[in-house]
Structure 1
Amino acid sequence: MPCAPGRVLVVDDSQVIRQLIRINLELDGFEVMTAADGAACLEAVHDFRPDVITLDLAMPRLDGSRTVDRLRLDPRTVWIPLVVVSASAGGALAVPVGVDAVVAKPFEPSDLVGLVRTLCAEGRPASRTLAP
């Protein structure tokens, strides 16, 4: 059962991916804010106060790995579940420590929505991975 209201911060440098994730989460009742990179995520996270953050690894200005590090070092954000949504997941880039789940691109939107729903309801779990 999803938390009410669920808030998700979607961080990806691709506008198409941000919109795809946003629309699918909003159709499931989530309130969604988007950011184009890690720096914008860090600017928005304290005002928006998301229940879950999805983020890509390869982004300009501040990549996903450094964003995860900063979120995990901040006592105000250490509790937020983080989902890496990336074509790089498991490939050339290592998934950073502190990530709660990994979704490899391309992905099935309904699988991502279900994972976000679970994380929103249960909080930070042991790491989970969804393969394409």
Structure 2
Amino acid sequence: MPRASGRILVVDDNKVIRQLIRVNLELEGFEVVTAGDGAECLEVVHQVRPDVVTLDVVMPRLDGIGTAARLRADPRTRDLPIAIVSACTQYEVDAGFATGVDAFLPKPFEPAELVRLVRQLAEREARRPTEAHAAGSRPRVRGLAGESGSPAQA
């Protein structure tokens, strides 16, 4: 598998989970910046200019669904690929898709699944200046290669 490239903003209130995600993505060649909650994400997203954002759902100050909604409402981050990496209820999955989240990866996850998902979203972002971007479309990632993938998994 070729090494990836791109900057990923990982948002999770659990320091251990942030570090786990960071290490796995950095081993694959991604540059990783972290934030401890949605409010911090919104403070740094414009300086960091990530290619992909991963969000936990349950966080202090501003949860993942609220963060995704604010990212989608901002013209500067409207098309930024967003993946929820969290143990979600079906209600949270539905709310996330309604908000414009691109993909979900349930916790606990296999590191290879995380890398595959982030790579898919980063590659899509790299191709964004093509006709898909001109049409304003953001295809949702519903399943990983080789999986049966339900709408709740990406």
Aligned counterparts of 1:34 and 1:117: Cα–Cα separation in 2: 17
Structure with the greater alpha carbon radius of gyration: 2
One-letter amino acid matched to 2:82: L
* In structure 2, C-alpha distance between the alignment counterparts of 1:2 and 1:22, rounded to whole Å: 18
Unaligned runs of 5+ in 2: 126-137, 144-148
CA RMSD of aligned residues (A): 2.2
- The structure whose residues are more often helix, as a share, is 2
Q: Secondary structure at the match of 2:101?
A: coil
CA deviation profile, 1:74-127 (whole Å, cap 9, x unmatched) = 00001110000111x234634422110000000001111111011101134224
- 3-state SS of 1:23 partner: helix
| 1:1-132 mapped onto 2 (5 Å cutoff) | 5-87=5-87, 89-91=88-90, 93-94=92-93, 95-96=95-96, 97=98, 98-123=100-125, 124-129=138-143, 131=153
Cα separation, 2, equivalents of 1:53 and 1:103: 13
Q: Secondary structure at the match of 2:19?
A: helix
- Aligned residue identity for 2:59: M
The number of residues matched between the two structures is 131
Moved over 6 A (4+): 1-4
Equivalent AA in structure 2 for residue 71 of structure 1:
L
TM-score normalised per structure 2: 0.78
Alpha-carbon displacement from aligned partner over 1:44-81 (angstroms, at most 9, x marks no partner): 10000000000001000011111011000000001110
On the 8 A contact 2:4/2:119 being kept in 1, the answer is no
- CA distance in 2 between counterparts of 1:3 and 1:49 reads 20
Greater share of residues in strand: 1
Change (3 A) 1:3 1:24: closer
In the superposition, relative to structure 1, how do residues 9 and 39 fare at CA in structure 2: closer, same or farther (>3 Å)? same
Gaps of 5+ in 1: none
